[in-house]
């Protein structure tokens, strides 16, 4: 039985998600957008490429939640992106309203869906989405860590001039300036990066610059694009999560997941390594963190908490 993925938001990321899902023949695709024409136009345009790329999936566009019912996966990008000079947090007010609308739209029509939220400010928006929708916490997850980790790995591959496949690393914590690059578990062609620093292969200052560039990875692209933000890599990351769910791959992926005591954190969403399989977020992996990583992770959690308190002030329904 063909699976069904609904994309709520058919903008830059939504359209790219649809194209990648179609090329991989992961599922039939419903593009949903309040701008119905964008959803319908992109669905038709991608469908017209099927004879070229030889994929067979149904694509449709709509602004009616009825057309999205019984989705297996819902990926949400509905919201506004940053403009140059804006922080991800600046989007809180407007995107909180949008995510409340989306939550009401999906909770009745797809109560069993695996819901991947991409809209910024990610950690707080995904938490609000879960509360507004009341969907199970292990079926509502945020996409950020895969993107941040991918940016970090790419920058390291450029620095060491080796293929990305030979680098292992990941980034945890909030999807913002407080994100934590896990240097203690970063391997460059099998060698610990901390040893490469000790051996003088890379200076600590240079490594710190690469970590900073990763934190600002989104802002760097916003500056170039001027209108809109990154969308190819965010979409690739969202598809990796959807595929692990639909094919029960049980991949270990850094995602914004609900913490219920793990990492000494309760009742909060933040970026941690999780196993994604057919039951959704099947396990939160508790890593042994270095003291530095523990301290930075704690700081990152505090910044998510602070922003969620700001969200609570905007909407009492989040209390
Ligand atoms: O790592 C991450 N999580 C981030 C997330 C990486 C990059 C971008 N990040 C955020 O994703 C970005 O800050 C935005 O909040 C979202 C979507 O970014 P995108 O670049 O796709 O924005 P667009 O192109 O403006 O598309 C948003 C679409 C647009 O077509 C609107 O008409 C639609 O959302 N929209 C809605 N759809 C459904 N329902 C409602 N209420 C709605 N409001 C707007």
Of 6, 10, 11, 15, the one to substitute when testing ligand 1's pocket (max ligand atoms within 8 A of C-beta) is: 11
CA of 197 to the centre of ligand 1 (A): 39
What is the reported pLDDT for 50?
Answer: 98
What is the reported pLDDT for 117?
Answer: 98
The answer to whether the CB of 269 falls within 8 A of the CB of 174 is no
* SS3 at position 169: coil
119-166 pLDDT, tens digit per residue, is 999 999 999 999 999 999 999 999 999 999 999 999 999 999 999 999
> Which residues, 6 or more positions from 252, have their beta carbon under 8 angstroms from its beta carbon?
273, 274, 275, 285
The atom number, within ligand 1, closest to the CA of 118 reads 3
What is the reported pLDDT for 93?
Answer: 92
Mean pLDDT score of the chain: 96
CA of 92 to the centre of ligand 1 (A): 12
Which residues is 255 bridged to in the sheet? 272
Of 30, 31, 62, 78, the one to substitute when testing ligand 1's pocket (max ligand atoms within 8 A of C-beta) is: 78
CA of 183 to the centre of ligand 1 (A): 31
What is the reported pLDDT for 318?
Answer: 95
Mean pLDDT of 72-81: 96
Q: What is the pTM of this model?
A: 0.97
Mean pLDDT of 93-122: 96
C-beta 79 within 6 A of ligand 1: yes
Mean pLDDT of 191-211: 97
- DSSP per-residue letters across 55-80: ----EEEES-GGGGTT-SEEEE--S-
First to last CA, the chain: 40
The answer to whether the CB of 167 falls within 8 A of the CB of 188 is yes
46, 151, 12, 32: which is closest to 102 by C-alpha? 32
209: pLDDT strictly greater than 90: yes
Q: In Å, how far from its chain's centre is CA 133?
A: 18
176: pLDDT strictly greater than 90: no
Among 77-91, 198-212, 292-306, the range scoring the smallest mean pLDDT is 77-91
Mean pLDDT of 24-53: 98
134 sits in the region (left: phi over 0; alpha: psi -120 to 50; else beta) called left
C-beta 120 within 6 A of ligand 1: yes
268-285 pLDDT, tens digit per residue, is 999 999 999 999 999 999
Give the separation between CA 12 and CA 227, rounded to whole angstroms. 11
1: pLDDT strictly greater than 90: no
211: pLDDT strictly greater than 90: yes
220: pLDDT strictly greater than 90: yes
CA of 10 to the centre of ligand 1 (A): 8
Q: In the structure, what pLDDT confidence band is assigned to residue 83 with cuts at 50, 70 and 90?
A: confident
The answer to whether the CB of 31 falls within 8 A of the CB of 11 is no
C-beta 175 within 6 A of ligand 1: yes
Residue % of the chain over a pLDDT of 70? 100
Of 77, 98, 122, 232, the one to substitute when testing ligand 1's pocket (max ligand atoms within 8 A of C-beta) is: 77
Catalytic residues: 175
The atom number, within ligand 1, closest to the CA of 230 reads 7
What is the reported pLDDT for 88?
Answer: 79
């Amino acid at each position: 039985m063909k699976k069904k993925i609904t994309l709520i938001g058919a903008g830059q990321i939504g359209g790219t998600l649809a194209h990648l899902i179609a090329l991989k023949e992961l599922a039939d695709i419903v593009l949903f957008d309040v701008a119905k024409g964008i959803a319908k136009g992109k669905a038709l345009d991608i469908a017209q490429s099927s004879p070229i790329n030889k994929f067979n999936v149904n694509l449709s566009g709509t602004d009616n939640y009825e057309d999205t019912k019984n989705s297996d996966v819902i990926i949400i990008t509905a919201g506004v992106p940053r403009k140059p000079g804006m922080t991800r947090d600046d989007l809180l007010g407007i995107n909180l309203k949008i995510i409340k609308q989306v939550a009401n739209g999906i909770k009745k029509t797809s109560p069993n869906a695996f819901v991947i939220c991409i809209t910024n400010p990610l950690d707080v928006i995904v938490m609000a989405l879960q509360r507004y929708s009341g969907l199970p916490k292990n079926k509502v997850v945020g996409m950020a860590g895969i993107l941040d980790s991918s940016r970090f790995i790419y920058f390291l591959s450029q620095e060491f001039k080796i293929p990305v496949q030979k680098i292992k690393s990941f980034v945890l914590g909030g999807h913002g300036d407080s994100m934590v690059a896990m240097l203690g578990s970063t391997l460059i062609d099998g060698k610990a990066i901390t040893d490469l620093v000790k051996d003088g292969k890379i200076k600590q200052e240079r490594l710190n610059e690469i970590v900073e560039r990763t934190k600002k990875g989104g802002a760097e692209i916003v500056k170039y694009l001027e209108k809109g933000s990154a969308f190819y890599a965010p979409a690739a990351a969202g598809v990796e999560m959807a595929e692990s769910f639909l094919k029960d791959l049980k991949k270990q992926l850094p995602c914004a997941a609900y913490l219920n005591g793990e990492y000494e954190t309760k009742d909060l969403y933040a970026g941690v390594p999780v196993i994604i399989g057919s039951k959704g977020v099947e396990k939160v992996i508790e890593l042994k963190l270095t003291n530095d990583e523990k301290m930075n992770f704690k700081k990152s959690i505090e910044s998510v908490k602070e922003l969620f308190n700001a969200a609570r002030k905007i909407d009492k329904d989040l209390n």
